[in-house]
Amino acid sequence: MFGVIGNPIAHSLSPIIHNSLFSYFSLPYHYEKFLLTNHQDFPSLLSNLHGANITLPHKEVAIKYCDEVRGVAKEIGAINTLYHQNNHWIGYNTDAEGFYLSLEGSEIRNALILGAGGSARAVCAILQKHNIEVSMLNRSAHKIATFVGVKPYERGEKYDLVVNATSAGLQGSLPLEDSHLGEIICKATLTFDLIYPSSSSVKTLEDFLQFLRRREDTLFCSFSKKHKIPTIDGLDMLCYQAFLAFEIFCENAYSFEEIKQVFYP
């Protein structure tokens, strides 16, 4: 069995993506949602799984339960994918590349990340890898110091890309007070909300495909549009990181492009 672990978790669309892929490729696996309120329960939960995706707020603490960490996850210090292989739990981070693929070649020189959690680390790492200057704004300013090469937010600075890497949208809130957020966004070229819209009516692959083509805006994306700034939500990123994770779960039996064709024909 495979699954996604987080808190909250009811909104997750990951089971539809992975179960659709397991079905499409005729693989005898199943994928479920798991609510984890205490990270100390990780070992008992993992004992029933062959692989898992990790979402908020466990991406950083989950790395402690890995026997081995591979790829960019070592640099990020956070994982979103776990796979059990040869009696070892191996940790990966597919969020970073999934995020960058979602930008679709947008020209960006500098970026401001709102938040400083595990998702922010993934975004920061991939932007820096592509020589994009990164600044950060977080409620706890001291946490920004744990990011290498990142500048603190400067009021009045223009940022090409503004990324909401907080979970505020899941509680129906914006990451900052309206006027301050508007001041930042109105100077941007593009905004990106890592949160993605959800829908209780999405039950099947066909439902999901329709949802991909026609979905509502997140609160952050809606706010950006009011300021006439182009915006991207996290749904394509969700798909792309899932496709990369599926490659890992299937030990590279299928390529990213093969997997992507199921959802983006």
The 3-state DSSP class for residue 72 equals: coil
**Domain locations in the chain?**
2-94+238-263, 97-234
* pTM, two decimal places: 0.90
pLDDT in the model for residue 82: 98
CB 90 within 8 A of CB 66: yes
Beta carbons of 17 and 238 less than 8 angstroms apart = yes
Residue 87, pLDDT score: 95
Q: Where are the alpha helices (DSSP H) in 5-136?
A: 14-24, 42-46, 73-76, 95-102, 118-129
Which regions in the chain score pLDDT beneath 70?
none
pLDDT in tens, 156-191: 999 999 999 998 998 889 999 999 999 999 999 999
Q: What pLDDT is attached to residue 53?
A: 97
- 59 is annotated as an active-site residue: yes
Closest CA to 55 of 4, 10, 14, 90: 4
pLDDT in the model for residue 60: 86
The domain defined by 2-94+238-263 folds into: Rossmann fold (3.40.50)
Q: Are the folds of 2-94+238-263 and 97-234 the same?
A: yes
Q: Which of 59, 129, 187, 203 is catalytic?
A: 59
Do residues 66 and 91 lie in contact, with contact meaning Cβ atoms separated by under 8 Å? yes
Cα–Cα distance measured from residue 8 to residue 220, given in angstroms and rounded to the nearest whole number: 19
CATH number for the region 97-234 comes to 3.40.50.720
